[in-house]
Amino acid sequence: MQILRRLFLLLTPYWKTLILSALLLVGRAGLELVPPLFQKEIIDEVIADLDLEYLGILIAALVGAYALSQLVQIGDNYVRHALGERFIFDLRVRLYAYLQKMSLAFFERTSTGELMSRVTNDLSSLEHFVTHGSALTAVDLIRLIGGSIILFVLDWRLAALVLIPVPILAVALRHYNTKIRPVYRSVRARLGDINAKLQDNLSGIRVIQAFAREEMERQRFTTESERYYRARVEGIRYWSVFFPAIRFLGAMGSVIVLGVGAIMVIKGELSLGTLVAFLSYTTSFYEPINRLTEVDNIFQEAIAAGERFFEILDETTEVSDAPDAVALSTIEGNLVFDGVAFRYGTGDKVLHDIAFEMAPGEMVALVGPSGAGKTSIANLICRFYDPNKGKITIDGHDLRRIKLSALRQQVAVVLQDSFLFNNNVAENLLYGKPDATREELTQAAKAANAHEFIMQLPQGYDTEIGERGVKLSGGQKQRLALARAILADPRILILDEATSSVDAEAEFLIQQALERVLEGRTSLVIAHRLSTVRNADKIIVLDQGLIVETGRHDELMQHGGLYSQLYRRQMAIAI
């Protein structure tokens, strides 16, 4: 009930539309109760008195009632379904916006396919809750109450007989809810697993085909699909038995009324018209009960989907703006790590008491073995995570006291495997500065040594590059990523092994571009190839999350420590 209450609270912004829908529903339900009264009048008065004039009046009124009922239903259908679509649109946008605010830690522990399932499939179930669940519940309750009153007015004895199956229906519905609710939860979870597996496999199709693992992945996908299938079939097994049983009980109530009512008509205790009308209202009584059990099915699905929806909204992000956070419009670029320690989640520490300073315009290189903590330092500067101990400042401001949007406008990152969107070249570059002119776009591409190869593409800057830039080489993708960062014009530029996965020619072009780009900016270069950082103003050597050496290239080589060992080893391999 807590989930349903929260779902109904989400509908409060649409109260005007809800009132209009309620009025239409009341009108629809009331008009549906009118025809049996006309039928009673025709049988008891018109036929008995052979009054054709009165018959014409009643027939015309009956036609008018049916026509008005259908007009009201047209309005009801449009208003209700338009409301449902708007409700889901707003929820989907709200959920997406909320996901955008979540920290990287959240996305690392939640699969992309699972999130896609919640944004699409689960919200679609909530649309049924609005358009069919809550609305039909309202109209059926009105019909049920109105029909009950009319039944007792027509004949209280027959009305009492109509109520006989109701306690049985109530007990059956309670039992059904107990059984079906965990089934729907399981269905939602299994569908999320399918989406997660599908997204993972489609993203990794190149690896799957390269290792000829198509059959293995087919079997794995089949296993996930079978789990979903079995969960669905279990739900089908319950409702395929439950709903016919409910309808049978309702039919038995009508049979009892027909039998007893026929006897009363024969004995002269009841008019034939009253019996006909009573049978119509008996149907109007049991039909809403039957449909309410089906609506309950919609509610159970909505509860299962709502639980997964609110699980996301109830998540708290580990990284967010402080109440007193400031928006720095410009920065000099003085960056200081002061006794910083960090771990991912509840794992072991990956950084221990890190302390160093980057002066404005200085190029600092981070080097060390794989897993030493280099990328973790870059992540902390971007504030994808917050340190567990110590602080990081820019121009004396603690990063946790700077608005995230303002901070990230001053910092740009070029990764080893930079992400490119399934769009054209220009749109990917404009991610750095959405309002940039074509001239600014071209200048940034030239600075990154990317303009020449872009102009050789079929449509130049308007060429579609495919998902993750699949139509480009590794060096081309890196130069586009660098051009995107240049266009953003950040004061702090982070290069996370930006040249480690490209060939020698691409590395040469990127290094040429970097010499131009890094000038005057505070830059942090995470280097795999140590030859690329010989000219750095400062080289920080990390090992197992600790700073073990600091200095320039020549100083570190003379020192004979870890840096010189790594450098000589790379040079020996290169010979």
In a domain, 552, yes or no: yes
In percent, the amount of the chain with pLDDT more than 90 equals 3
Residues in the chain: 575
DSSP assignment of 291-324? HHHHHHHHHHHHHHHHHHHHHHHT---SS---TT
User: What pLDDT score was predicted for residue 133?
Assistant: 65
In percent, the amount of the chain with pLDDT more than 70 equals 90
| Same-domain pairing of 542 and 477 | yes
| Same-domain pairing of 307 and 249 | yes
The total number of structural domains in the chain stands at: 2
In a domain, 349, yes or no: no
DSSP assignment of 231-248? HHHHHHHHHHHHHHHHHH
User: What pLDDT score was predicted for residue 8?
Assistant: 78
| Same-domain pairing of 305 and 367 | no
CA distance 372 to 351: 8
Reported as a pLDDT band with limits 50, 70 and 90, residue 253 is confident
CA distance 246 to 493: 68
User: What pLDDT score was predicted for residue 500?
Assistant: 54
In a domain, 226, yes or no: no
In a domain, 10, yes or no: no
CA distance 446 to 46: 93
Residues 310-328 have a mean pLDDT of 83
Of 402, 459, 449, 394, whose CA–CA distance to 426 is shortest? 459
Of 11, 20, 19, 128, whose CA–CA distance to 72 is shortest? 20
Residue 508 pLDDT greater than 70, yes or no? no
Q: What is the pLDDT of residues 41-74, one digit of tens each?
A: 777 777 766 767 777 887 888 888 888 888 888 8
Reported as a pLDDT band with limits 50, 70 and 90, residue 135 is low
| Same-domain pairing of 61 and 152 | yes
CA distance 302 to 284: 26
| Same-domain pairing of 40 and 149 | yes
| Same-domain pairing of 254 and 155 | yes
Reported as a pLDDT band with limits 50, 70 and 90, residue 506 is low
| Same-domain pairing of 377 and 302 | no
In a domain, 334, yes or no: no
Helices (H) and strands (E) in the chain, counts: 23, 10
| Same-domain pairing of 407 and 473 | yes
The amino acid at 226: E
- Kindly list the distances between the CA atom of residue 82 and the CA atoms of 27, 79, 95, in Å, as whole numbers in the listed order: 19, 5, 20
Reported as a pLDDT band with limits 50, 70 and 90, residue 342 is very high
In a domain, 200, yes or no: no
| Same-domain pairing of 90 and 169 | yes
Reported as a pLDDT band with limits 50, 70 and 90, residue 509 is low
Residues 429-439 have a mean pLDDT of 85
Residue 285 pLDDT greater than 60, yes or no? yes
Residue pointed to by tokens 């729907």: 184
User: What pLDDT score was predicted for residue 341?
Assistant: 92
| Same-domain pairing of 296 and 431 | no
Q: Which of 246, 279, 313 is the last residue of a domain?
A: 313
In a domain, 365, yes or no: yes
Pick from 246-255, 389-398, 507-516, 541-550: least confident = 507-516
Strand-pairing partners, residue 326, are: 402
Q: Which of 313, 332, 350 is the last residue of a domain?
A: 313
> Under 8 Å CB-to-CB from 453, ≥6 apart: which residues?
476, 479
Strand-pairing partners, residue 356, are: 337
| Same-domain pairing of 365 and 285 | no
Give the chain's mean pLDDT: 80
Q: Which residue range(s) make up the domain with 122? A: 15-191+237-313
Q: What is the pLDDT of residues 446-502, one digit of tens each?
A: 888 888 888 888 888 888 877 766 677 777 888 888 888 888 888 888 888 655 555
> Under 8 Å CB-to-CB from 97, ≥6 apart: which residues?
none
In a domain, 219, yes or no: no
CATH code (residue 309): 1.20.1560.10
Q: What is the pLDDT of residues 177-223, one digit of tens each?
A: 777 778 877 877 787 778 777 777 776 776 677 667 778 878 888 88
| Same-domain pairing of 133 and 262 | yes
Q: What is the pLDDT of residues 87-134, one digit of tens each?
A: 888 888 888 888 888 887 787 777 777 787 777 777 777 777 777 666
pTM of the model: 0.71
Residue 574 pLDDT greater than 60, yes or no? no
CATH code (residue 554): 3.40.50.300
Q: Which residue has the higher pLDDT, 284 or 525?
A: 525
